[in-house]
Amino acid sequence: MIRAGTTLGALLLAALALAGPAAAAPSPTPVPSGYPATPEDYAISAREAVRVADTDPKIVAREAELDRGDAFSASVEAKPVRVWEVGYFLNGEKVNLVVVDGATGAVTQSWTGAAVDWPMARGKPGQFGHILNSAWVWAALALVFVAGLLDFRRLRKWVHLDLLVLLGFGVSEAYFNAAEIGTSVPLVYPLLAYLLARMLWIGFRGHGLDGTAGEGLRPSAPAWLLTAAIAALIVLRLTANLADSGVIDVGYAGVIGADKITHAEPLYDDSFPEDNPTGDTYGPANYFAYVPFEAALPWSGSWDDLPAAHAAAIFFDLATIAGLFALGLALARRRRSADPDPRPPLGPLLPDGRVRRRLSRWFPDREGNALGLVLVFAWVAYPFTAYATQSNSNDELIAALVVWSLVLFASPIARGALLAVAAAAKFAPLPLLPLFAAGGRGIRVRSAADRRASLRPLVRFGLAFALFAALLLAHPAVDPGLGRFWERTVASQLDRDSPFSIWGQADLEWLQTALKAALAALAALVAFFPWRRTLIQIAALAAALVIGAELVLEHWFYLYIPWFLGPLLVALVARDADDVAADTPIR
């Protein structure tokens, strides 16, 4: 009897031992560094957050795939927005991220792949563009863009396809907003390649004037209607920026750098705040551009509304708009005396009346006004320029500098100075150096006369570029030194890994290297050919070189489209008949 009782008791203990683990809550994944303290406004602890995250289906599936020797662990961190971020590491590599609400204990987000380390890959609503992420707003802008620039009398023109290709970036952006960067990123490259080919065609061959595919845009919309549309679109852009936009890390970095300059602090000493630690990767010109805005609207010391960044982005946009209008006037002034197509590029500027007569006195060059209006309309109606202003980034600073360098292209000193500032803000415009150095004639060395004609503007350009580059580099040269400047800017960009390019998503280093070599060869070639190039051809070649640089970037984003858009619009809208005559060459 005792033996039977002992046996029964042993069986009961064994059953309890087997049933115990099944009934108890599962142990959380090990956290090697331990659990952090729970903030006061959190309802659940870090240990509880990990336990909740462990139940996420993606984590359960990951654990089911583990091999015997795999090391699987977690880290947990409290974020200022009252969430726990639980990261999961497989053999030392971060492979999953689960976000747990600190108040409710519910899983709100679960990510794998590139989205684990790149918040911008998570399709977060409003992180870029804000109101432009609405399909209705984007579609309305796209419709206005196309309708305002179409020539309804002759729809079968190659340049109309160019407009649709420009809007094609919106398809990629839709996938980006859906957190599908595996699709959004590859879609960009055929569009960039097409635009590169078109700009090379126009740059080397010029526009055809016989109705061929090379003819520039001749919008059917009357200028008075475009003028009204421009005014309305600018008001809408300003209203949207002030009422519904945010400042991304790029604009925030500009404000921080401007504050450092005004307080006589070094820029590149690895002292940017923790919420933007890599904000010192831009050139010094970028931070100097923000100084007047930060001085008028001082930085509070935190990532708040940043009014200085809003003011800077609005100014960069308006400066680009003014430059495009001025470029239209400059192109019209250089119009050939014998134009085979005497039609004005647009209808009457305004209906007959007092307003038209007054504007005619202010802007006597009617054809230049019309051409400038088309360029400005194309800029303000194109969705991705508004995308940049809504993000309050620094990208339209580059756009403004490139456009104004074309306005003043006849002066080697002016274009040298402006290119130096652009390259010292972001380094993408550097491939323009040979083209801008050669000017409108191209470098010719066949005879002594050719060499003398090429040498004078080349020297003027070189001196202006070197002087302004030296002035801008003086600040980092003093403190912390050019070596540290190189390490924090150029070197960090060259060493950057990003899933926002096909180079970061696939093993195509050989192709990327080949394209870099091709870009360098193209940059050298356009210094010599074509020998006689119109300002429109120069704009097309400039757009091609910037597009080429974007094709090989390790990190590409939609905010970079404005870099090349200004000269590209000039190449599409203007025609060779609007440009330089043989007796008035560009130097």
Nearby residues of 69 by Cβ (< 8 Å), 6 or more positions away: none
- The per-residue b/e assignment along 121-141, b for 16 or more CB within 10 angstroms, e otherwise, is bbbeeeebbbbbbeeebbeeb
* Residue 327 to residue 365: CA distance in whole angstroms: 12
Q: Kindly state the tokens that stand for 397.
A: 């600073």
* Cβ contact 328:369 at 8 Å: yes
Model pTM score: 0.86
* Residue 182 to residue 180: CA distance in whole angstroms: 5
Q: Kindly state the tokens that stand for 227.
A: 């003028």
Q: Report CA-CA distances (Å) from 135 to 394, 405, 571.
A: 25, 35, 29
DSSP 8-state class, residue 488: I
* Strand locations in 469-538 (E): none
Beta bridge partners of 97: 87, 111
Nearest to 194 by CA among 217, 161, 219, 146: 161
What pLDDT shows up at residue 213? 40
What pLDDT shows up at residue 79? 86
Q: Report CA-CA distances (Å) from 359 to 220, 328, 350, 364.
A: 22, 16, 9, 8
Domains of the chain, each with CATH number or no CATH: 23-117 (3.10.450), 130-257+300-404+498-578 (no CATH)
**Backbone φ, ψ for residue 95 (5° rounding):** -120, -20
What pLDDT shows up at residue 341? 44
Tell me the pLDDT tens digit for each residue of 61-118: 999 998 888 899 999 998 878 899 999 999 989 999 999 999 999 999 999 988 888 8
Tell me the pLDDT tens digit for each residue of 229-261: 999 999 999 999 998 888 999 999 999 999 999
Nearest to 376 by CA among 232, 525, 554, 186: 232
Q: Report CA-CA distances (Å) from 278 to 118, 488, 538.
A: 14, 8, 35
pLDDT in tens, the chain (587 residues): 444 444 444 444 444 344 444 444 456 788 877 889 999 889 999 999 999 999 999 999 999 998 888 899 999 998 878 899 999 999 989 999 999 999 999 999 999 988 888 888 888 777 788 888 888 999 999 999 999 999 888 888 888 999 999 999 999 999 999 989 999 999 999 999 999 999 999 998 876 544 344 567 788 888 888 999 999 999 999 999 998 888 999 999 999 999 999 999 999 988 898 888 888 899 999 999 999 999 999 999 999 999 999 999 999 999 999 999 999 888 877 654 334 444 444 444 444 455 455 445 444 445 556 888 999 999 999 999 999 999 999 999 999 999 999 999 989 999 999 999 999 999 899 999 999 998 887 777 666 666 676 678 888 999 999 999 999 999 999 988 898 999 898 888 887 888 999 999 998 999 999 999 999 999 999 998 887 788 889 999 999 999 999 999 999 999 999 999 999 999 998 765 444 433 344 55
Q: Which of helix, strand or coil describes residue 549? A: helix
Nearest to 427 by CA among 565, 552, 276, 256: 552
Question: In terms of C-beta density within 10 A (0-12 exposed, 13-18 middle, 19 or more buried), how is residue 313 classed?
Answer: buried
The residue to which tokens 């923000």 are assigned? 290
The residue to which tokens 């074509």 are assigned? 530
* Strand locations in 21-180 (E): 72-79, 83-90, 93-101, 107-112
- The per-residue b/e assignment along 422-446, b for 16 or more CB within 10 angstroms, e otherwise, is bbbbbbbbbbbbbbbbbbbbbbeee
Nearest to 250 by CA among 187, 186, 316: 316
Beta bridge partners of 107: 100
The residue to which tokens 């602090």 are assigned? 265
For 110, other C-beta atoms within 10 Å of its C-beta total 17
Single-letter amino acid code for the residue at 220: S
For 356, other C-beta atoms within 10 Å of its C-beta total 13
For 12, other C-beta atoms within 10 Å of its C-beta total 10
Nearby residues of 117 by Cβ (< 8 Å), 6 or more positions away: 94
SS3 content of the chain, % helix, strand, coil (to 5): 60, 5, 35
Single-letter amino acid code for the residue at 567: P
